[in-house]
Amino acid sequence: MSETVQRDTCPMELEFAATASLLGEPTRAIILLKLLGGKALPAGELAFASNVSPQTASGHLARLVEARLVSVERQGRHRYYRLADVEVANAVEALLALMPSYRGDAQRKPAPAVGTIPYARTCYSHLAGWIGVQVLDALQANGYLEPSGDKTFAVTDAGRAWFEQLGVPIPIRSSSKLARACLDWTARKPHLAGSLGVALYRRMMELGWVVPITGSRAVRVTIKGKQELWKQLKLRIA
């Protein structure tokens, strides 16, 4: 019977080890982190970011596509790569949360430096980093979101009114994918993910509250954004 169990589990263990090795190779790790911003990027840009030749980058990308961690889109003669889905993004963020340098007491650590990825960044099209954590805390403190299960939130009546006056419509029938908690590897606390997190970040960009920093996943909170976050959520950002 033990031999049967071993035969049944070995393929899964081997597949798990193979997937882990794909994530653990330095060049592929850089590629996955670069794609964590949610945008489709050409192979040349990923090669430059990884400091390898285009041919080497193409080899790594082929392996990631074969493993279904990355998808590829063709536009004419060019190929653009992106993370396969949100589950891959969540897995990469979860691995980042395991880094020894971020597994200490996050409550005692000062806020990260402004303009850095730990301070504010995109995580697969929603707002993450120290700012993202503060926004989620403020949404709960103001009674706009409340926990409703395993890593999910429900939008309260007050929250529905707040989001809609901000220009973020809330579907009448919500699902578990609407508002999720995504553990932030910098603060060891969750930021807002799910379709609501994506919609809120897009609206914050449209309103000029946040601005992406060119060439990076980092995000800058504008003066207007600081003023509005205080006005709307009583969230003070120095």
Residue 41 pairs in a beta bridge with 81
Structure tokens at 98: 């395991």
pLDDT of 108 > 70? The answer is no
Domain boundary among 28, 52, 84: 84
Res 3: pLDDT: 44
Strands 152-155 and 121-123: unpaired
pLDDT digits (tens, 9 = 90+) for 10-57: 688 888 888 888 888 999 999 998 898 778 899 999 999 999 999 999
Give the total number of structural domains in the chain: 2
Residues 32 and 94 in one domain: no
Asked whether the predicted pLDDT for residue 124 surpasses 90, the reply is: no
Asked whether residue 238 is assigned to any structural domain, the reply reads: no
User: Does 7 share its domain with 116?
Assistant: no
Average pLDDT taken over every residue of the chain: 88
Helix (H) or strand (E) holding 15: helix 2-24
On the CB side of 5, CA atoms within 13 Å amount to 2
Q: What is the pTM (predicted TM-score) of this model?
A: 0.74
Tell me if residue 74 falls in helix, strand or coil.
strand
Task: Provide the residue range defining the domain that includes 168.
Answer: 87-233
Comparison of pLDDT for 221 and 38, the residue scoring more: 221
Residue 165 has pLDDT above 90, yes or no: yes
Residue 65: pLDDT band (50, 70, 90) is very high
Q: Of all helices (H) and strands (E), which one includes residue 4?
A: helix 2-24
* Final residue before a domain boundary, out of 62, 84, 106: 84
**pLDDT by residue (tens digit) across 204-220?**
999 999 999 987 889 99
